[in-house]
Amino acid sequence: MRIGTGWDLHRLAEGRRLILGGVHIPFHSGEEAHSDGDVLIHAIIDSILGAAAMGDIGTHFPPSDKQYKNISSLILLEKTLALLAQAGYRIINLDTTIILQEPKLKPYIEIIREKLAGALSIDLDGISVKAKTKENVDATGEGKAIESMASVLIEKIDNSIWV
């Protein structure tokens, strides 16, 4: 078994859609990014790649590559899962935290969990999504940015190599 952690931060910008875990959250601003800016999925991707010692999101999906302009982060996650499977691993569980001052995410947490469970092909009870504020401290607390953290546990699919 291996553990990976991921973290991401994006500025919030007027006129952008706020996407978290592949779910559109109605709000007046959203993540400023080359892709759709889904900070939750970006942190999850980094945690998966880190657990498998395969680099980070920027290595595999660089913002300088035009093919990733405005791409859905769910597609990037799908590509990451293919890399993980190719390396012989599967996800056991995922724990995440979204950090933003507003909007309140309580009404969306279960929808996000369900979307992630489907995208990751794991049971809903293997997905944790929490939301926190920054108590009005720093850029995130002032509503200028959004952050996310993720921790993932993976295991080798073919255990015969350990024998």
Please name each of the domains of the chain with its CATH number.
2-160 (3.30.1330.50)
Positive or negative CA dihedral for 38, 43, 44, 50? Answer: positive
pLDDT at residue 64 tops 90: no
Provide the pLDDT for residue 66: 87
pLDDT at residue 10 tops 50: yes
pLDDT at residue 158 tops 90: no
Residue 74 to residue 40: CA distance in whole angstroms: 10
Provide the pLDDT for residue 163: 47
Provide the pLDDT for residue 110: 98
Tell which residue, 161, 159, 39, has the closest CA to residue 90.
159
Compute the average pLDDT of residues 137-161: 90
Compute the average pLDDT of residues 113-127: 97
pLDDT at residue 159 tops 70: no
Supply the pTM of this predicted model: 0.94
Residue 126 to residue 63: CA distance in whole angstroms: 30
| Angle, CA of 100, 101 and 103, to the nearest 5° | 90
Q: What is the mean pLDDT of the chain?
A: 94
pLDDT at residue 147 tops 60: yes
Provide the pLDDT for residue 56: 96
Compute the average pLDDT of residues 63-86: 92
13 alpha-carbon distance from chain centroid: 19
Provide the pLDDT for residue 34: 87
Compute the average pLDDT of residues 94-112: 97
Provide the pLDDT for residue 129: 98
Provide the pLDDT for residue 160: 54
Compute the average pLDDT of residues 2-13: 97
Residue 96 to residue 37: CA distance in whole angstroms: 16
